[in-house]
Structure 1
């Protein structure tokens, strides 16, 4: 490892993701530990590398931090990104939270010296506050477009309460959803967990996710790129797949869940359009099963966001995402305001040149 001055920033060993012991140690600290996130782990790093993106794993003040860098051919002029890092505990103290922007500013300037980066974009999973906004500004960061579909999230913290019973948690679900879950059970719908990769089943899951995305007007996933990453995540114990099946074995709905930090996070979901064959409550039963699993593990049930580009506040009646928002609220989820994505230019001239070249080239990053 090479330490740069007294900045407390050093590169991880070059064989980090090839050595199973080093890889497991990294994932334990970057993904499984409190505040950890899948996007800081080895499976996500492998996904980026398959896409031709440079991966730069660092230790910053002794803690792991995964950085990716996209460079222009010949000229370089790289833009670095840090997804969901550094680790931010769900109940982090305010005085710790406001230190994050300065830490990332140090990383940005290190990346300029060592990697030729002109700009750093970050989106740590940090809850919004006035003091954090001030800290971003003081460190030289400004808000930028989100790299994820949603900026905010919806959490059920009650699932993480020690000793919480299934009955008590289920009582917090609204009456309509409780009735739908019960109806699906009476109809013989079963939910099972796929914990190890199964190529055929995962391909079916991706098909259902995409069918649903098309029906709802959302972006689809690319199975050729996504399935290897799902398999890596499952082998690392960071993802599982839940399958809802009808009594005749028909796969009716699916949901993938990420296990990281203090959370069990809903990731991808979808359902078949089965018409009259679909019993009432298939999707609610599937979602409740994930929430109850979070309770069993003592984790926050993170149901994901309900905001989209151009509309980052909580949806209101008539908004496109209002239905999804009310669906999640029906299970007891609360809106969690996040700080969102920020950027800092460490070489303003280089950043402007890169932007001009991107526009000429048609917007390639």
Structure 2
């Protein structure tokens, strides 16, 4: 039976996800709370005989001028036990009925599943694969590298390719000092991300976003900063959920690229993740186009160089909940999305310029 959890059960819900075979921070209630300024979250458990088997967080976003919502389950659902997969045929119809009651016109999801059979099972219950032209394959990255970090630090370091071990040690031998920061250090992070965004030609978020992230996520997130002679040279945010950690935001100052500080920074991220119980480190996405001609080939090579396992997820899927409205969405949404992205980019650029001016 599917049930909406009570407000006082969010901690219990997040613990179930953290202790599942495949934890995903994007499905937690705490992450949904962080994102609740843009989406309205709902958290459900599917239980049999009182035993929770499947968890799913649904984010609802209202259509302009209409009382209907797009439902999105980032990296969901979560199979809380391996036997949960056998309950999916009963889970999906109950979820669809519930979302219809909530005013949803479509459900979008991108589960952290890698089995083609699971993709076929989604198609069998009415989901349609979404073909994205985004460089990372969708809202969430379709491909990534994940490194097993369960070993003791010395053994783990020894398992990393020799050249990368050298690059990891190089910064500290040349005066770079790493430390864990706080909200007060977000300006240092912003300096790094703004320098990176100017080089890579993308618009980042404003300081308030990262300050709120650190505040809401608490001990589940860490801001780690690398400095040389009190000058910030690299910075990053890492998130952990159960046995899994993710390198979500980060960069280095181009001026200090010769220090190779980002290699050492990623090692510090792994050590922090291990201290929180993580045994796997996700480099948070590589481009779908991994050819040498790709403008993101360097990013792919950097993340590959640590020796992790290449992981390809099944990608995005959508299921109509209200077929006519879904058809309208499919027909007109591309124009709406382009307009929203343009407006959002303008707002972020204005906010960033204000931060720089300060």
> Could you say whether these structures have the same fold, taking a TM-score greater than 0.5 normalized by the shorter chain as the test?
yes
Shift of 1:342: 0.6
Cα deviation, 1:138-185, whole Å, max 9, x if unaligned, reads 11111114553521110112x12xxx2323222222222222222212
Question: What pairs up with 1:209-248 in 2 under 5 angstroms?
Answer: 209-233=193-217, 235=218, 237-246=219-228, 248=229
1:268 and 1:298, CA in 2 relative to 1: closer, same or farther beyond 3 A? closer
> What is the TM-score when the length of structure 2 is the normalising length?
0.82
Match of 2:285 in 1: 305
Residue aligned with 2:259, SS: coil
* Gap change, CA 1:214 and 1:118, over 3 Å in 2: same
Partner SS, residue 327 of structure 2:
helix
Q: Of residues 5, 26, 45 in structure 2, which corresponds to 1:12?
A: 5
Structure 2 residue matching 1:66: 3-state secondary structure:
strand
Task: Tell me by how many angstroms 1:360 deviates.
Answer: 7.8
Does structure 2 conserve the Cα–Cα contact (< 8 Å) formed by 1:102 and 1:135?
no
Label 1:97 to 1:249 Cα distance change in 2 as closer, same or farther (>3 A): farther
Unmatched 5+ stretches in structure 2: 341-358
The 1:355–1:306 alpha-carbon spacing in structure 2 relative to 1, beyond 3 Å, is closer
> What is the distance in 1 between the residues matched to 2:335 and 2:205?
28
Cα 1:361/1:293, change in 2 over 3 Å: closer
The corresponding residue for 1:290 is: 269
8 Å CA contact retained: 2:17, 2:55: yes
* Structural mapping, 1:171-210, within 5 Å: 171-194=158-181, 197-198=182-183, 200-210=184-194
For residues 188-223 of structure 1, give each alpha carbon's deviation from its aligned partner in whole angstroms, at most 9, with x where no partner exists. Answer: 2121223xx42x312331332232122113341233
Q: Which region of structure 1 is more displaced relative to structure 2, 347-356 or 262-271?
A: 347-356
Q: Decide whether aligned partners of structure 1 residues 74 and 216 sit closer, same or farther in structure 2, where only a CA change above 3 A counts.
A: closer
94, 111, 117: which one pairs with 1:131?
A: 117
CA–CA separation in structure 1 for the residues paired with 2:110 and 2:318: 9
- Distance of aligned partners of 1:121 and 1:360 in 2 relative to their CA distance in 1, 3 Å threshold: closer
Which SS does the other structure have where 1:267 is aligned? strand
Cα separation, 2, equivalents of 1:285 and 1:192: 12
C-alpha distance in 2 between matches for 1:362 and 1:323: 29
User: Is the 8 Å Cα contact of residues 30 and 41 (structure 1) preserved in structure 2?
Assistant: yes
Equivalent residues in 2 for 1:239-258 (5 A)? 239-246=221-228, 248-258=229-239
How many equivalent residue pairs?
Answer: 329
Tell me, yes or no, if the aligned pair for 1:187 and 1:279 is still in contact at 8 Å. Answer: no
Whether contact under 8 Å (1:88, 1:125) holds in the other structure is no
CA distance in 1, matches of 2:30, 2:207: 16
Give the whole-Å Cα distance in 1 for the aligned partners of 2:84 and 2:4.
24
Is the contact made by 1:189 and 1:245 (CA closer than 8 Å) also made in structure 2?
A: yes
Q: Is the 8 A contact 1:152 1:337 kept in 2?
A: yes
Q: Would the aligned equivalents of 2:74 and 2:140 in 1 still touch at CA under 8 Å? A: no
Displacement after TM superposition at 1:339 (Å): 1.1
Distance 1:230 1:206, change over 3 A: farther
TM-superposed deviation, 1:124? 1.5
1:76–1:356 Cα change, 3 Å: farther
Deviations 1:11-54 (A, max 9, x none): 222xx1xx5xx332232223465423222223322233222x22
RMSD after superposition: 2.7
Q: Matched residues in 2 for 1:252 and 1:344: separation?
A: 45
Q: Residues 218, 44 of structure 1: CA spacing in aligned structure 2 closer, same or farther, 3 A cutoff?
A: same
Aligned to 2:70: 79
Partners in 2 of 1:59 and 1:151 — Cα distance?
A: 25
What SS does the aligned partner of 2:159 have? Answer: coil
Instruction: Kindly indicate whether the alpha-carbon contact (under 8 Å) linking 1:170 and 1:178 is maintained by their aligned counterparts in 2.
Output: yes
Q: Which shows bigger deviation, 37-46 or 255-264?
A: 37-46
